Structure 1
Amino acid sequence: MCKKENPIPGKIIAVTNRSLCERPFFEQIKRVCETKPAALILREKDLPETEYEEMARQVLAICEEYGVICILHSYIETAKRLERQYVHLPLPLLRTCMQKTKNEEKQIKFMSGNLSMDQKNKNKLILGCSVHSVEDAIEAEKLGASYLTAGHIFATDCKRGLPPRGMEFLKQVCENVNIPVYAIGGIGLNDGKIDSVCECGAAGTCIMSAFMAI
C-alpha cells in the first residue's frame, strides 16, 4: 500500500521513561538527542498535566538545541499552549479528542489527516496513535492519525508476561493502513531488528529501554 508522506523524517524514534534512567532525566535527554534520533516522544504520561508541561518546556528546549523533533504525549492542551504540532495519543484518547472536536462550535478543520489547532494558529496537530490490533490501526487512521506505533512486536521487560504480537502482526498492520507505522517493543539500537521491521513494511521503530540506558 502506498503510504502518505511521513511527518517524521527518519527511522528511529526515542521514547522516554524516567523510571529507567540511572542519571538525571534531563542529562539523559541530552545524551539521547546527541545520537540524533528522528524524534523523541516525551511519554511521562503519569505526571499531572501541570508537571508534564513544566517538564515539556525543558525537554523541548533540549530537543530544539539538537534539532530533534519532540512529540508530546497525551496532553493536547499542553501542545496547544506550547504551540507544538506533534502529539502522541493512546487510541481511547484519540477517540475522545475526535468526539470533542465534533462537539465544539468553533471551526476546526481536518486537512490531510491532521487536526487544525484553532483559527488563530495555522499549524496542524500531527497526531500519532498507539495500536495493538489491525482493527485499532484502521480505526486510528480513520480518526485522523498521521502515523501509528504498533506493538509490542518482540518480548520486552516493559510488557513482562505478555506474549509479543510478532512480525506477522506488524506486517498485517502495515498492509491495512495508508499511514506510516513504527514498530515498538523489544527493539534495540544495534540488534538487527530495525532492518527486520522495515522489511515488514514499517517506517521505522520506537525504542525506549536502550535510549534510557545510553
Structure 2
Amino acid sequence: MKKKSLPRLMLITNQARANAPLQEIVEKAATAGGCMVQLREKALSGKNLFELAKELRKITEPHDTPLLINERLDIALAAHADGLHLPETGLSIETTRKFMPNGLIGKSVHSLQGAWDAEIAGADYVLFGHIFPTASKPNDAKPRGLAELESLCQAVQIPVFAVGGITPERTKACLNAGAYGVAAIGALMQIEHLESTLQSFHQVLEL
C-alpha cells in the first residue's frame, strides 16, 4: 500500500476502554471510512485473538478498511490481515517482509534513531508518541510533545502517525508538526460518540 492510499486515521483497539463490543465499534468505523484498524489486545490468548481477528477481518474487508494486527505475525497471516504493526523491539521488519511481501508494515518508535532504523529497514510508516498525556500510558515518562514530533517528521520520508492523547481538537497541531496522520485509542472506543468523533477527525484530516 502506497502512501497516497494510506488512511490518515488509525483506530487502535482497547477492549478495556471500550464501552461496546469491538466488533460494533469497528463496524461503525469501517462504514464511515477513511481509517484503518490496528487490533492490539495483548491480554487475549492467542486463540481468542485469532478468533477476534477473523471476525474483524470479515467486517473490514467489504469496506476496504485495512486491518493490522499488533505484533503477532502468525495471527496476521492466518486471519489474512492487511498487515502487521510491530513494537519497537521484537520481530524485525525484514523478517516480517519475507512473510508479508505486499503487506502493510508499521513500527512503533520513540526516538529519531528508531524512526531512521525503521525507514531503512523498509517500514511503510512509523507510529510516534506519546505526544500528549494519555490514559493508555499513565505511568510513562512525560509526553514527547509537538516539538519532538516535528523533528522526527522532518527526519524521515515515510509517513509518521502521532499517537498518545489524540483527539480531533489536537489533530491539527500534529498535522502542522508534519505528521501524516494520527492514531487514536480512547477517543474512538466510546460507541455513543463514535460517529460524531469520526466526523470531527475526518474534517480535520480533510477526508
Check whether TM > 0.5: yes
- Return the TM-score normalized by structure 2: 0.83
Matched, 1:179 2:158: yes
Residue matched to 1:89 = 86
Determine the structure 2 residue equivalent to 1:167: 146
Question: For each residue in 1:168-207, what CA deviation from the matched residue of structure 2 results, as whole angstroms up to 9, or x when unmatched?
Answer: 1111111111211000011113x1x222111111111001
Alignment correspondent of 2:119:
141
User: What displacement does 1:8 show?
Assistant: 5.0
What is the aligned partner in structure 2 of residue 21 from structure 1? 18
8 Å Cα contact 1:141/1:177 also seen in 2: yes
Q: CA deviation at 1:165?
A: 0.3
User: Contact 1:14–1:37 at 8 Å: present in 2 too?
Assistant: no
Q: Equivalents in 1 of 2:17, 2:31: separation in Å?
A: 18
* TM-score, normalisation: structure 1: 0.80
Q: Helix, strand or coil: the match of 1:210?
A: helix
Higher helix share: 2
1:48-197 paired onto structure 2 within 5 Å:
48-95=45-92, 98=94, 101=95, 115-117=97-99, 123-161=101-139, 162-189=141-168, 191=169, 193-197=170-174
Check conservation: 2:13, 2:22, Cα contact below 8 A: no
Task: Output one character per residue of 1:96-132: Cα deviation in whole Å (capped at 9) or x when no partner.
Answer: x64xx4xxxxxxxxxxxx82427xxxx5232100011
Change (3 A) 1:139 1:117: same
Question: Following TM superposition, by how much is the alpha carbon of 1:210 offset from its aligned partner in structure 2, in angstroms?
Answer: 1.0
Of stretches 179-188 and 86-95 in structure 1, the one that deviates more from structure 2 is 86-95
The partner residue of 2:41 within 36, 44, 50 is 44
Structure 1 residues 28-37 or 52-61, which shifts more?
28-37
Matched residue SS, 2:126: strand
Identity of aligned residues (%): 28
Amino acid at match of 1:115: R
Q: Could you say which residue in structure 2 is the equivalent of 1:32?
A: 29
Change (3 A) 1:57 1:7: farther
Give the direction of change, closer, same or farther, for the CA distance of 1:7–1:40 in structure 2 (3 Å limit). farther
8 Å CA contact retained: 1:116, 1:125: no
Deviation at 1:31, TM superposition (A): 2.4
Count residues with an aligned counterpart: 190
The 1:83–1:30 alpha-carbon spacing in structure 2 relative to 1, beyond 3 Å, is closer
d(CA) in 2 for partners of 1:84 and 1:116?
15
Counterpart residue number, 1:210: 187
Larger Rg: 1
Deviation, structure 1 residue 59 = 0.5
